[in-house]
Amino acid sequence: MSDRLSRSRLAPAAAGLAAVGLGLAAAEIMIRADWINRFIVPPPSEVARGISRIVLEEHIGHRFLLTAGECLAAGLMITVLGVAAGVLIHRFRLLRQATETWIAAWAAAPVVLAYPLFMVIFGRNAWTIIMIGFVAALPPVILKTIEGLSTTRKVLVDVGRSFNLTGTQQFWKILFPAALPTIFVGVRLGLIFALINIVGVEFLINSGGLGQLINDLAERYDLAGTYAAIFFVVLVSVAFFMTLERIERWLRPID
Amino acid sequence: MAADRDSAILTADDVTVRFATPEGVITAVEDVSFAVEPGEFLSIIGPSGCGKSTLFNVIGGLLTSHQGTVRVAGEIISGPHPSIGMVFQEESTFPWRTVSDNVAFPLELVGMPKRKRIERARRFIAMVGLAGFENRYPGELSGGMRQRVALARTLASEPKILLMDEPFAALDEQTRLLLGDKVLQIQQQLRQTTLLITHNITEAVQMSDRILVMTYRPGRVKRIVDINLPRPRDSEIVGSEAFGRYVAQIWNDLREEASRGMRDAETHALDHEAPP
C-alpha cells in the first residue's frame, strides 16, 4: 500500500524528468543532424559542459544568490504589500471601482522600460532592480487577492454570520483562508513577473547577477554558456516555486 | 398538537418579507405565524418559490429587513442569535480544516482550550457517525459525510434550536433516508428543538411532530398537520400505512400550490421569450 503510494507520488516527477530528457535528446539529434542551426541553438550536451564551465569561471554561486536574493526581496514585498492592498481595495467598494481597471492596465505595462527613472531614484544598485521587480509584479497579487476574497462562497460567509463572528474573525477565520489558493496564484504570477523583470534589468544595466552574465556571454557569442546561464535562471524560478508550494501546503494542507 | 405560545421556545408573528426586483416588489412571505415547543420537531414544507429559504434566513437572523417579529424564548431577534444553530442547504464545511477542526470551530470562537475543544468535538463527530474520520479533510469525504460534519459543527455550539434548510437536498434518496435516521436519533437523544425547511414530503413526515404547509408565492401558512406516528422512529416507518396516509394528505395540500408554481414559472418563461 505505502509502496504504491510512494510510487504514485514519484510518478509525476519521474514523468516530468523523462519528458525533459526526451526533449533534450530530440534537440541534440536535430542539431547534430543540422535540422536546427547550431549557431542559433547549441546542442544540449555543449550547454551541459557550459554549465560546469561557468560554475568554475563565472562566480555563478555569487550571481545566483544575488539574483535569487533580489527576487526574494521583491517577492516578500509583493506578498506583504500586494495582499494588504488587495484586502483594502476589496474592503472599500468605491476604491475598488476607482482602481481595479487601472491596476489591470498596470499589469500589462512594460515597467522594465522605465529603468532609467528607477536608476535616477535608487541609483545603480540592487535596489533599482528590486524595485522594478516589485512594481512590475504587484498587480497580479493585488488582483488575485481581490478575486479570492470576492469569490469566497456566500454560504461560508453565512456560516460565519450564523456564529456571530466579528468582522476581524470573519476575515481571519473565513475570508482569508478561503481566498488563500487564489492569493497564491497571484503570488506565483507575481514572482514570474518579478524574475523576468529582475533578470531583464540586470541584463540592461549590467549590474551583477545572472542577467549581467547572460549579457556578457551573449556578447562574447558564447551560446552554450548563455544557455547554461539561462538554466540557472530557471533554477531560481524552480526554487521559488517549490518553496511556495510547500508554504501553501503548510497553510492549506488539502482542498 | 398546537403549540402554546407562552411555553414556546420560538415564535414567529406575522412575518412578511418583500423584495424589490426589476419587475416590481415581490412578496416572498406574508403574515407567517407559528410557534415551536421545546423539544419539538417542526418541518416547514412548500413548493419551490414559496419563500422557505427566505423564512430560514429570517429565523436565523441573516435577513433582518422584514415585518413582524421572531422571538426566541420571548426575546425578539434582530440578527443571528446564539440559541439558534443553522445547517445550510449548500455544502458549508471549511475545506482548509480537518473534520475535527471544523466541528471544534464554534468552541474555538468562545475561547475553549484546544485539548478540551478537540475532546468535545470528538463527542459530536461520534454522534453523527463519523468516528475515525477526525483528521480527514472535507475534500476526502462524500457529500453526505460533509453534511454530517456541518451538522456536528452546529450541534457543537449546543444551540437551543436547530434550524436546517434542506440539508439533504443534494443527496441521493437512500443516503437521505439514512441521514434522516441519524438526525432523528440525535434529535431524540438530545431532545433538540428542530426546525426543518424542506420540499420533501417523505423526509418531513419521517421526522416531524408537526408539518407547516406553505402556499406558493406569497408564502403563507396553508395548514399545520400534526404527525401522530409513534416515536422513536426511523426510516422503517416509511413503509407503514399511516405514513402513506400522511404523505397523501400533505401532497393533496401541496399539489395545488406546486401546480400554481409551475404555471407561474411557465408564464414567466413565455413573457421573457424573445419575440420571433
**Do A99 and A189 have their domain in common?**
yes
**Reading across the β-sheet that carries B84-87, which strands appear in turn?**
B84-87, B161-165, B193-198, B41-45, B210-214, B221-226
**Do A96 and A126 have their domain in common?**
yes
**Do A32 and A57 have their domain in common?**
no
Residues of B in contact with A251 (CB under 8 A): 96
Quick one: residue A122, left, alpha or beta (phi over 0 = left, psi -120 to 50 = alpha)?
alpha
d(CA B75, CA B161): 14
For residue B188, pLDDT beyond 80:
yes
DSSP conformation class of B219? B
CB-defined contacts A:B, below 8 A:
54
Q: What is the pLDDT of residues B138-162, one digit of tens each?
A: 999 998 899 999 999 999 999 999 9
For B63, other C-beta atoms within 10 Å of its C-beta total 18
Nearest C-alpha of chain A: how many angstroms from B134?
A: 15
CB neighbours of A185 closer than 8 A, spacing ≥ 6?
Answer: A144
Q: What is the pLDDT of residues B35-50, one digit of tens each?
A: 999 999 999 999 888 8
Q: What is the pLDDT of residues B231-255, one digit of tens each?
A: 888 778 888 999 999 999 999 988 8
Mean pLDDT of all residues in chain B?
89
Q: Which domain holds residue A12?
A: 1-41
**Do A109 and A138 have their domain in common?**
yes
**Do A75 and A144 have their domain in common?**
yes
**Do A190 and A213 have their domain in common?**
yes
Three cell numbers, residue A120: 535616477
Using alpha carbons, list the distances in angstroms from residue A237 to A200, A228, A234, B17.
14, 15, 5, 56
- Of B122, B130, B220, whose CA–CA distance to B182 is shortest? B130
pLDDT for res B230:
87
pLDDT for res B3:
60
Q: What is the pLDDT of residues A191-220, one digit of tens each?
A: 999 999 999 999 998 888 999 999 999 999
Fold (topology level) of B1-83+162-249: Rossmann fold (3.40.50)
For residue B76, count CB atoms less than 10 angstroms from its CB and return exposed for 0-12, middle for 13-18, buried for 19 or more: exposed
Are A32 and A200 a contacting pair, CB within 8 Å? Answer: no
Residues of A in contact with B105 (CB under 8 A): 163, 173
**Do A121 and A32 have their domain in common?**
no
Question: Could you tell me the residue ranges of all domains in chain B?
Answer: 1-83+162-249, 91-158
Q: What is the pLDDT of residues B62-108, one digit of tens each?
A: 999 999 999 999 999 989 999 999 999 999 999 999 999 999 999 99
Number of domains in chain A: 2
d(CA A38, CA A46): 10
* Secondary structure E strands in chain B: 10-21, 24-36, 41-45, 67-72, 75-76, 84-87, 161-165, 193-198, 210-214, 221-226
Are B243 and B229 a contacting pair, CB within 8 Å? Answer: yes
**Do A168 and A113 have their domain in common?**
yes
**Do A145 and A197 have their domain in common?**
yes
Tens digits of pLDDT across chain A (255 residues): 456 655 667 888 899 999 999 999 999 999 999 999 988 889 999 999 999 899 988 889 899 999 999 999 999 999 999 999 999 999 999 999 999 999 999 988 899 999 999 999 998 889 999 999 999 999 999 999 999 999 999 999 999 999 999 999 999 999 999 999 999 999 999 999 999 999 999 999 888 899 999 999 999 999 999 999 999 999 999 999 999 989 988 887 765
Nearest C-alpha of chain B: how many angstroms from A132?
A: 35
**Do A117 and A4 have their domain in common?**
no
For A29, other C-beta atoms within 10 Å of its C-beta total 12
Are A159 and B88 a contacting pair, CB within 8 Å? Answer: yes
d(CA A51, CA B232): 77
Nearest C-alpha of chain A: how many angstroms from B97?
A: 8
Q: Among A161, A169, A178, whose Cβ lies nearest the Cβ of B62?
A: A161
pLDDT for res B243:
92
Given the DSSP bridges, would you call strands B67-72 and B210-214 parallel, antiparallel or unpaired? unpaired
Closest-approach residue (CA) in chain A for B82: A163
Q: What is the pTM of this model?
A: 0.84
**Do A224 and A113 have their domain in common?**
yes
**Do A25 and A120 have their domain in common?**
no
